[in-house]
Amino acid sequence: MTDNTATVAQENLAPMLIQVRDLKKSFGQQQVLKGIDLQIPQGSVCVILGGSGMGKSVLLKHLAGLLKPDSGEIIVDGEDLVPMRDKHLQNYRRKIGKVFQEGALFDSMNIFDNVAFPMREHLKVSEEDIRAKVEHKLKLFSLNPAEVNSKYPSELSGGMRKRVALARAVALEPKLLLYDEPTTGLDPITTDQVDQLILHAKSELGVTSVVISHDIASAFHIADQLLFIYKGEIVVRGKREDILNCPHPYVHQFLEKWRQKNQ
Amino acid sequence: MNESAPQEKTASLWRFLAPVVGVGHLSIGFVREFGRVLLFGWATLIQMFRGPYRAKEFFRHMREIGFGTLFIVIFTGFFTGLVFGLQTLIAFRRFGAESLVGPATMLALARELAPVLTGMMVAGRSGSGMATELGTMRVTEQIDALEMMAVSPIHYLVVPRVLAAMLMLPFLCAIFDGAGFVGAYIMGVAREGVDPGIFLAETWYGLDPPDFFEGFIKAVFFGGTIALVSCYKGFNAKGGARGVGLAATEAVVISSVSILVGTYLITELLHPFLYGYIYFDSFPQVGP
Ligand SMILES: Nc1ncnc2c1ncn2[C@@H]1O[C@H](COP(=O)(O)OP(=O)(O)O)[C@@H](O)[C@H]1O
Ligand SMILES: [Mg+2]
């Protein structure tokens, strides 16, 4: 862990959107997070790697305020999430968006209403303004409003659905986007599209992204910072090289398997 | 042989105790589930009084519950009236009391059969629908998405359904009463030859408003129970399509059983009020 201080110090130059200190969480006897320290600069993409059941989703749920830690601090955009109560948390969640694996679009609503939903819930603006905003968000992710507005999620392809999910996630102009395995189960072309969307959200909107992934190639492609979680601990963090040169046996094995598959 | 002997002993002991263990597990499971539904209901009650009020959702579910079950309720009501009229006639004829077939049939319908059977129909149609819809939303993470968008899923999904069901059921129950009356009249007057004047007069004087209120009050409770149980089951569905199917089945079974147990409890609770107090003190006796 000592060799990480250099990268962390370097990133300290940019203002931090997320600061997590010594985050611990147990479910019953099982300690799932064993002291996570994390700093994510504003406007960057952080990718969390690791095998199944290592606590990645649990970490992400803490960032969303869906779970409370046993101990530790989670400071996002200057606010400490840990002592927050329900109402406060709801306000906090308006500042973040989450992109679900399958999109989680409301299948009883058409695309327009899906993207408009968070706006109608939280913004006190007229329907015309909402229409303008929705069309703007759809265009951001290369969707043609005239074409998709009145379609239902089931009528779209997987890649298109993901675009709509992103448009909905950024509907309230969040500062932070969370992605839980956005590409698991997708074909390589759609995976590449999703990577482009993540980078697009960063460059167009200046959003900070935290992405959970299994896919090392795409992680290397999009990440400003990579973390590798093993059994509730961050075993290595940094850039591509830090991961590739990591001596930790599990990381090594993980990379070996990936290399074998790609040859 | 010697080594396996104690194992066989414990095995046979377990086999012997299995029914006890089973009953224990079932009881614990029942109490736990019951408590969870109550907590779910409590959360719904709290959200009910919070804005914004979702009129559009509320009316949509009223329409779905009302129109969705209207036809089967009329159908069931009519045939219940027919067969209950016939059975009552057969019974009453033995005592020479055929003229009372109208009020006897309608009393049973208004107070018991209409709310219970309407409840069963709504549980079968709307309850399973609710559990399926919310269960699908759960397994496709749409409920988590609501939460992430800072919208309370209970406020958005459960409250309008529960309110719509509570309001719609008494109306459906009244329609059941009407259809049942038509059935009973056809059976009594058109087929079995009871004098129409006597049939109508006896029914008019034999029944009182509290008889109908009892049915409507039950219907309100059944509506709330069906919607709450079905939403609860949907909310807790897991494991894909199979889990959703299971949630729908359980929603219907639990709603139906709750209706049958509930109708007994409500009857016991209501009687002192409806017939002891309100009836004798507040409603003037009419008729000869
Ligand atoms: N709500 C929960 N209750 C109990 N255990 C949980 C809960 N959520 C996650 N876990 C456990 O925590 C561990 C890590 O889960 P998770 O973060 O989902 O893994 P992954 O890294 O694959 O996303 C798993 O062993 C899981 O069983
Ligand atoms: Mg996970």
Is residue A30 within 8 A of residue A36, CB to CB? The reply is no
Give Cβ neighbours of residue A11 (< 8 Å, ≥ 6 apart): A39, A41, A44, A225
> Tokens standing for B271?
């009687």
The residue ranges of chain A whose pLDDT is under 50 are 1-11
Instruction: Please state whether the peptide bond connecting residue B52 to the residue before it is cis, i.e. omega within 30 degrees of 0.
Output: yes
Rounded Cα distance, B78 and B58, in Å: 29
Rounded Cα distance, B139 and B242, in Å: 11
A35-45: string of b/e by CB count within 10 Å (b at 16+)?
ebbbbbbebbb
> How much is the mean pLDDT over chain A?
87
- Distances from the Cα of B172 to the Cα of B73, B184, B215, B230, B273, angstroms: 7, 18, 11, 19, 24
Q: Which pLDDT belongs to residue A2?
A: 44
Find the residues whose C-beta lies inside 6 A of ligand 1: A 27, 32, 50, 52-58
Rounded Cα distance, B114 and B73, in Å: 9
Domains by residue range for chain A, with CATH: 1-95+210-263 (3.40.50.300)
If we measure between CA atoms, which residue out of A203, A160, A199 comes closest to residue A179? A199
Instruction: Please state whether the peptide bond connecting residue A182 to the residue before it is cis, i.e. omega within 30 degrees of 0.
Output: no
Give Cβ neighbours of residue B141 (< 8 Å, ≥ 6 apart): A100, A101, A102, A104
A100–B149 CB contact, under 8 Å? no
- The answer to pTM > 0.80 is yes
Q: Which pLDDT belongs to residue B288?
A: 52
Q: Which pLDDT belongs to residue A229?
A: 92
If we measure between CA atoms, which residue out of B281, B264, B277 comes closest to residue B116? B264
ipTM of predicted assembly, 2 dp: 0.83
Backbone angles phi, psi at B221, to 5 degrees: -65, -45
CA distance B139 to chain A (A): 9
Q: Which pLDDT belongs to residue B281?
A: 45
3-state helix, strand, coil in chain A (%, to 5): 45, 25, 35
- Work out the widest C-alpha separation in chain A, in whole angstroms: 57
B149–A93 CB contact, under 8 Å? yes
> What pairing do the DSSP bridges indicate for beta strands A225-230 and A45-49?
parallel
CA distance A222 to chain B (A): 24
Q: How many CB pairs under 8 A join A and B?
A: 47
Rounded Cα distance, B193 and B185, in Å: 10
> Tokens standing for B20?
């006890």
| pLDDT tens readout for residues A26-61 | 998 999 999 999 999 999 999 999 888 889 989 999
Rounded Cα distance, A243 and B91, in Å: 87
When CB atoms are compared, the residue of A94, A100, A108 closest to B150 is A94
Rounded to the nearest angstrom, the gap between the alpha carbon of residue B21 and the centroid of all alpha carbons in its chain is 32
Closest C-alpha to ligand 1, atom 14? A55
* Residue B240 forms contact with A (CB below 8 Å): no
Rounded Cα distance, A131 and A112, in Å: 8
Q: What is the pLDDT along chain B (288 residues), one digit of tens a residue?
A: 455 567 777 888 888 888 888 899 999 988 999 999 999 999 999 999 988 899 999 999 999 999 999 999 999 999 999 999 999 999 998 988 888 999 999 999 999 999 999 999 999 999 999 999 999 999 999 999 999 999 999 999 999 999 999 999 999 999 999 999 999 999 999 988 889 999 999 999 989 888 999 999 999 999 999 999 999 999 999 888 999 999 999 999 999 999 999 999 999 888 877 766 544 444 555 555
> Tokens standing for B39?
């907590």
Pocket of ligand 1, candidates A49, A57, A227: which has the most ligand atoms within 8 Å of its Cβ, to mutate? Answer: A57
Backbone angles phi, psi at A238, to 5 degrees: 135, -145
CA distance B218 to chain A (A): 32
Is residue A141 within 8 A of residue A174, CB to CB? The reply is no
What is the sign of the dihedral through the CA atoms of A114, A119, A122 and A126?
negative
B144–A100 CB contact, under 8 Å? yes
Backbone angles phi, psi at A78, to 5 degrees: 80, 0
SS (H, E, C) A23-62: EEEEECCEEEEEEEEEEEECCCEEEEECCCCCCHHHHHHH
Among chain B residues, CA nearest to A178: B148
